[in-house]
Amino acid sequence: MKNKKVKFLDLGLKDYQEAWDFQEGIFKEIVYIKIKNRTDSTELETPNYLVFCQHPHVYTLGKSGKQEHLLLDEEGLESKKASFYKINRGGDITYHGPGQLVGYPVLDLDNF
């Protein structure tokens, strides 16, 4: 049986790394259940999540981006009280900040 229910989670204002770590945790939960189902012949439902949050000022650099596309140096980041992270998702430079609602789907696509 496929679980098509999606749990909506609101993390509020959350540091980018903390939100990333949270998503990694729920992703590992889904993978654990999928492995258990395959190895133990169980039929446990895997959960699906849509995580919402806002971030303090942050710039992220995706896998296909280039460091020189960030138009701020360390001083510029500090003056804006902004963080910077290299991430393993696609894209180039992305900005997130307070007041911007961000949604992160963490889904078992086999359910859909």
pLDDT digit string, tens, across residues 67-84: 999 999 999 999 999 999
Lowest mean pLDDT among 18-27, 52-61, 68-77: 68-77
Is 61's pLDDT higher than 70?
A: yes
Share of the chain above pLDDT 70, in %: 99
Per-residue confidence at 88, pLDDT binned at 50, 70, 90?
confident
Ordered alpha helix ranges (H), 1-112? 16-40, 74-79
According to the model, what pLDDT value does residue 71 have?
92
According to the model, what pLDDT value does residue 47 have?
97
Average pLDDT value for residue range 19-23: 97
Threshold 0.85, pTM exceeds: yes
Task: Give the DSSP letter of residue 80.
Answer: T
DSSP code per residue over 36-67? HHHHH---PPPP-EEEEEE-SSEEEE-TT--G
